[in-house]
Amino acid sequence: MGTLEQVLAIITGIILITVGLLEAFRYKDQRLHPIFLIKPGDTSAVRMWTFNLGFYNIIWGIFGIAGVVLVNSGEVIVGRTMVALMCIAHAILGMILVISERRLWLSGIGQSFFPVVILWLMFT
């Protein structure tokens, strides 16, 4: 795994962890409501999905970073596989986000862009 792929995988992991923390713990912050398409009165109704979705993203981010650590610890196949799985998942999830809610097209592109680039670098 090249340096650029590793750096992008770490950046992707950090982004996923950051977004996950915002989703899980800051969903009531009205400044974030436009990003999550939440209305102030709906926070109690969306608590369960934002909390769970946040932890999905946190865990995927940890897997991506752990994959890079494993690559650099000599476990190249396992590490590359973990990074590839994170990237495949988020490339697909970004597309699903756009399909399910067109207003989130920018978030969908943001979620998919680095993973697609990483996959392209890994497999070309």
Average pLDDT over residues 11-37: 87
Spans of all domains in the chain: 3-123
pLDDT in tens, 34-79: 777 788 788 888 888 889 999 999 999 999 999 999 999 999 999 9
* pLDDT score, position 49: 83
pTM of the model: 0.88
pLDDT, tens digit, for every residue of 86-113?
999 999 999 999 999 888 898 899 899 9
Q: Report residue 15 as tokens.
A: 């982004």
In sequence order, what DSSP letters do the residues of 16-85 get, joined into one string? HHHHHHHHHH-TT-GGGHHHHT--GGGHHHHHHHHHHHHHHHHHHHHHHHHHHHHHHTT-HHHHHHHHHH
Longest Cα pair distance anywhere in the chain, in angstroms? 50
pLDDT of residue 107: 87
